[in-house]
Amino acid sequence: MSMSFLFTFTIIISFGLCILYASAELQRLSHSSKHDGALSFLVLGDWGRRGAYNQSQVSFQMGKVGEKLDIDFVVSTGDNFYDNGLTSDHDNAFQESFTQIYTAKSLQKQWYSVLGNHDYRGDAEAQLSPVLREIDSRWLCLRSFIVDSELVEIFFVDTTPFVEEYFTEPQEHKYDWRGIGPQKPYITNLLKDLELALRESTAKWKIVVGHHAIRSVGHHGDTQELINQLLPILQANNIDFYMNGHDHCLEHISDTESPIQFLTSGAGSKAWRGDIKGMNRRDVNFFYDGQGFMSVKLTQTDATIEFYDVFGNVLHRLTSSKQLHSSM
Ligand SMILES: [Zn+2]
C-alpha cells in the first residue's frame, strides 16, 4: 500500500472529508455548507505559546464568537508553534499550545492550517503528520491545498519557500526544507497548479490563504516575492480576499489594482510590536497592533468580515456584496 494512499485513507476516516480529486498537485478537500447555504469560520494566526501572551484570552473570545456564528471550521494562517515549530509529532507543545488551549465547544471543529516560517524552523513534516490527527482529530495542516464548500473555495498556499532571505540569509535559524526540493521548481510548480485551480474554480467566493502578507504596514511589511509572483495570478482570477498572518496584528488593506482585499490575522498571542509603517496610505482601511482574530460569514450574496480584540470587541467590519446571477 503506498504512503499516499494511506495518507488519503487516514484523512477520510478521521474527518469524514471527501477527496474529490487530486489531479494537479493541489489536494482538494470538500467541506459542505450549512443547510441554508451559508458558511462561517474564524481566522487566527501566529498563536502557539502554551497560553502565554494572551493566547488563552484570544481563545476564550474565539469560543464565544464561534458559538454566536455557529462556525463551520477554523483557519490558521501559520506560525502555529513558537518559537521553532514542533520538534517531532510527539512534541508536547502540540497539546499544550493547541488541544489544551482551544477548548471551547464551538471550536471543536475542523481546523485547516498552513505552515509559517517559524514552523519551518522545527520539524515541518511533523505538523503534516497523521499522528497529530490521532492526538486531536481537529488538526489538519498541509503545505498547499484547497477546501471546497461549493459556496467558497479556499486556496491554501505554502508561502514560506517563496521568501528568498530564508535561503540566502538564514542567520542562526535552520529551516527544514525536506519535502520541498530545490526552491525554484517547487514554486514554479505550485504557482502553475494554483493558477489552474483558480482558473477552473466556479465558486461564488474565492479566498486565498497564506502565512506571509502580500501587503502589510506592520513590522515585516509587504512580501516582495509574493507581490511579484503570486499577486498577478490572484488579480487575473477574481480573488475576493487574501488572508495571512506573519505580522502580529490585524489589518485590512485594499488592492489598488483590483477588488482584492488583503486581510491580516496574525494576532493569536504575542503582539504590540509598535512597528507600523505607512499608516497614512490610502489603501489602509484598518490596522490594530494588539491581539485578536477575525471572523468570516459568507452567503450567496454577502460576505461579512469582522476583526475582534482580546475582549471580544468588534474593531472593524468589512462587507462585500455580489449580485445573484439569474439563470434565465
Ligand atoms: Zn511568520
> Is 80 assigned a ligand-binding role in the annotation?
no
118 assigned to a ligand binding site: no
Extract the C-alpha cell encoding 294.
477575525
Distance CA 137, CA 108 (A): 9
Q: What is the DSSP letter of 120?
A: G
Flag whether 173 is marked binding. Answer: no
Domain 3-304 of CATH type 3.60.21.10 = yes
pLDDT in tens, 8-62: 555 544 444 444 433 457 999 999 887 788 999 999 999 999 999 999 999 999 9
* % of the chain beyond a pLDDT of 70: 91
Nearest 5 degrees, angle CA 68-CA 71-CA 77?
120
Ligand 1 centroid distance, CA of 302 (Å): 30
pTM: 0.91
Residues recorded for the chain: 328
Buried b (16+ CB within 10 A) or exposed e, 258-273: eebbbbbbbbbbbbee
pLDDT of amino acid 222: 96
Going from the Cα of 155 to the center of ligand 1, the distance in angstroms, rounded, reads 19
Confirm or deny that 211 is annotated as ligand binding: yes
Q: Among residues of the chain, what percentage have pLDDT more than 90? A: 84
The x, y and z cell numbers of residue 324, run together, are: 445573484
Alpha helices per DSSP H over 33-99: 55-69, 93-94
For residue 299, report the distance from its CA to the centre of ligand 1, in Å. Answer: 31
Edge-to-edge order in the sheet of strand 139-141: 139-141, 110-113, 73-76, 39-44, 292-298, 302-309, 314-321
pLDDT of residue 276: 86
pLDDT digits (tens, 9 = 90+) for 145-180: 999 998 999 999 999 999 999 999 999 999 999 999
Task: Report the pLDDT value the prediction gives residue 277, as an integer from 0 to 100.
Answer: 84
pLDDT per residue as tens digits for the range 235-264:
999 999 999 999 999 999 999 999 999 999
Catalytic residue positions, numbered: 220
Q: What is the pLDDT of residue 275?
A: 85
Per-residue pLDDT, 98: 98
Neighbours of 312 (CB within 10 A): 17
273 or 42, higher pLDDT: 42
Label residue 293 left, alpha or beta by phi (over 0 means left) and psi (-120 to 50 means alpha): beta
Q: How many angstroms is it from 135 CA to the middle of ligand 1?
A: 25
Tell me which of 99-103, 210-214, 322-326 is least confident: 322-326
pLDDT at 326 over 90: no
Interstrand relation of 39-44 and 292-298 (parallel, antiparallel or unpaired): antiparallel
283 is in an annotated binding site: no
Q: How far apart are the first and last CA of the chain?
A: 50
Cα of 57 vs centre of ligand 1, distance in Å, is 21
**Does residue 289 register a pLDDT over 60?**
yes
